[in-house]
Amino acid sequence: METQVYIDGSYYPKSQAKISVYDHGLLYGDGIFEGIRIYDGNIFKLDEHLERLYESSRTIMLGIPLSLDELRDACIDAVRTNGLRDGYIRLMVTRGLGDLGLDPRKCPKATVIIIVDRISLFPKEFYEKGLEVATVPTTRNMADALNPKVKSLNYLNNVLAKIEANSMGVPEGIMLNSLGFVTEGTGDNIFSVKNSTLRTPPTFDGALEGITRNTVMEIASKLGYTCEKKTLTRHDLYNSDECFLTGTAAEIIPVIGIDGRAIGKGEPGPVFKQLLERFRKLTRTDGVRAFPSDLAEGELFVIGFK
């Protein structure tokens, strides 16, 4: 069956799913999005993703035409409609149909789009053997110009960095801010592990407030590791015992080399392996079950609630 795409309350086959060329999401990148994973019928951290979406909407003054509960129901229904037990949800809210001017007041209603499909950012062998990355010339947008807590549709900053990583022959690039401090990858957060302490750049340096990042920190804390949101330099990364990236699509993936320098022993380390094992277990239990048949006998299921 062809993928069914939700647009403003109706479903359309992937080949027929369209929005107006006058939508300000297309014209100006004016909108927000979330990427959400589905693991064996469990929509992982759905509520956390929706809360972040609504925070983004308030910051950019974008009125979402559905309540949080209604949008929650719509995400669950989109998964069920497509029958995909393992996959990825791309939830988007654009400013909506307007004119060729920049003024968002010309857009009377936002457009809500939900795509349920499969995604794979990196080959399986990178999770087993690790990947090499490089810092790229394009700097991260200034945090006081565009708050990185807003997950905006305007991703050109990240796209340029990805192009540079591709041209350097590496699968991922690390972005620095205008002061030369580490921010994140082109689509993932970054962690440095040193002496059993996990460090990741803070939001004010330009890093996204990643849900997978926060989940990994929660897991690590329960395992007894110290976790810090701390400003990092390339020197810190080069001298890490371990390094890894985190993200909804990427999950947790080890970095074994940066800018030609081996990280640690040049292979995935024990902290990464321990975190990945715990993370994969959590993805099956923390979230919302999309299919009624998965519920235990006697559990109540009303779309999106149990």
What residue numbers bound the domain in which 14 lies?
4-117
- Rounded distance between C-alpha atoms, residue 276 and residue 223, angstroms: 12
Q: Are residues 140 and 253 in the same domain?
A: yes
179-229 per-position pLDDT tens digit: 999 999 999 999 999 999 999 999 999 999 999 999 999 999 999 999 999
The tokens for 95 are 């400013």
Confidence class of residue 295 from pLDDT cuts 50, 70 and 90?
low
Question: Is residue 39 a contact partner of residue 33, using CB atoms and an 8 Å limit?
Answer: no
- Rounded distance between C-alpha atoms, residue 282 and residue 99, angstroms: 45
- Counting the structural domains of the chain, the total is 2
Catalytic residue among 14, 109, 149, 151: 151
- Rounded distance between C-alpha atoms, residue 6 and residue 82, angstroms: 10
Identify which of 84, 80, 102, 87 has the alpha carbon closest to the alpha carbon of residue 29: 102
64 has pLDDT over 50 = yes
1-25 per-position pLDDT tens digit: 899 999 999 999 999 999 999 999 9
CATH number at residue 52: 3.30.470.10
* 151 noted as active-site residue: yes
Helix (H) or strand (E) holding 113: strand 111-117
Q: Are residues 140 and 273 in the same domain?
A: yes
At 293 the pLDDT is 78
Q: Are residues 158 and 267 in the same domain?
A: yes
Q: Which of 88, 117, 146 is the last residue of a domain?
A: 117
Q: Are residues 145 and 231 in the same domain?
A: yes
